[in-house]
Amino acid sequence: MGRSGQVASAVQRLAPQLLPDRPLVMAGRPELDLAAPAPVLAPQLEALLEQHQPALVLNAAAYTAVDRAESEPELAEAINATAVGLLAAACAQRNLPLLHLSTDYIFDGSGERPWQEDDPTGPLGVYGASKLAGEQALRAAGGPHLLLRVSWVFGLEGANFVRTMLRLGAERPALSVVADQIGGPTSADAIASTLLTLAEAASAGVLADGRPFPWGTYHYSGQPAVSWHGFAAEIFRQALELGLLERSPELSAIPTSSYPTPAARPANSRLDGTRFQTTFGLPLPDWREDLRQCLSAWAGEP
């Protein structure tokens, strides 16, 4: 589900090479409107699943405008919670595996320890609350599902922090960036690659070694942890090397209190990916390497 978001775009681009024998159907507007009322959306979902008879559903669609969600709570709830519940119920009825993405924003950002999957949740704003409600609806449906919580997504397509920093870095001689929010930048390509890598086993219900597929909730985010300020500094360093910027702006570190936003952000967005690594034997991505690949593609390097 989803067509134009960062992860959905990466899935479309990478699927032909990672799953060459599995046809991919991307569903989105106009045939599927996740913001539609339940009596409209439910039959749309039923018709879509009946028409294509998929072996697995990957939901990469979401309302992700964190600040705007504060003034559009009904829309955020419709897409991130109600639609997820309807999709999960339709999949569960068919015993159809559902892969779904959630976010670090379901936590309150307290402390400094990386968040584990079973830690208490406490979203600070509408966006996080809507994503948490989606998680709860997914579990309540009772079907086989893999819920992957990710953080600070960036990628080749769509709006994201990397694009914003490059634009502002070219326009301004100096920038101030928040330094007291810590998390793990995660590339859309890494997320898409991981989901596509797990898709074959998930659709079969068993891992390569014969174990039943370990459904449930996992954390997956880029390493090492870094502040937005540190992320920006690395973006400018690499962009300068690749010729994407002629000069690097003077970068100042500021506290969150100096950059007020409509929605509160968690100070601690670190996600502990140990469960994911040990369960699936797959590595967590190094965001610095993924950033280099992203910037290199924009610079036209092979």
Which residues constitute the domain of residue 105? 6-159+186-224+271-286
Q: Determine, yes or no, domain membership for 171.
A: no
Q: Determine, yes or no, domain membership for 291.
A: no
Q: Determine, yes or no, domain membership for 199.
A: yes
Model confidence at 1: pLDDT above 70: no
Beta-carbon neighbour count of residue 211 at 10 Å? 10
| Mean pLDDT of the residues in the chain | 94
Question: Which residue in 170, 287, 276, 176 sits closest to 224, CA to CA?
Answer: 287
Q: Burial letters for 17-47: b for 16+ Cβ neighbours within 10 Å, e otherwise?
A: eebeeeeeebbbeeebebbbeeeebbebbee
Per-residue model confidence as pLDDT tens digits over 237-261: 999 999 999 999 999 999 999 999 9
What percentage of residues in the chain have a pLDDT greater than 90? 90
Residue 209: enclosing H or E segment and its boundaries? Answer: none
Question: What's the structural domain count of the chain?
Answer: 1
How many Cα atoms occupy the beta-carbon half-sphere of 82 within 13 Å? Answer: 17
> For residue 2, what pLDDT is reported?
62
Q: Determine, yes or no, domain membership for 1.
A: no
> For residue 26, what pLDDT is reported?
85
Name the band, by pLDDT with cuts 50, 70 and 90, for residue 301. Answer: low
Q: Determine, yes or no, domain membership for 180.
A: no
CATH number of the domain encompassing residue 84: 3.40.50.720
Q: What angle do CA 224, 201, 221 make, to 5 degrees?
A: 15
> For residue 192, what pLDDT is reported?
96
Residue 108: enclosing H or E segment and its boundaries? Answer: none
> For residue 91, what pLDDT is reported?
97
Name the band, by pLDDT with cuts 50, 70 and 90, for residue 12. Answer: very high
Roughly what angle, to the nearest 10 degrees, separates helices 228-242 and 161-171?
70
Q: Determine, yes or no, domain membership for 250.
A: no
Q: Determine, yes or no, domain membership for 300.
A: no
Q: Determine, yes or no, domain membership for 16.
A: yes
Return the active site residues.
Answer: 127
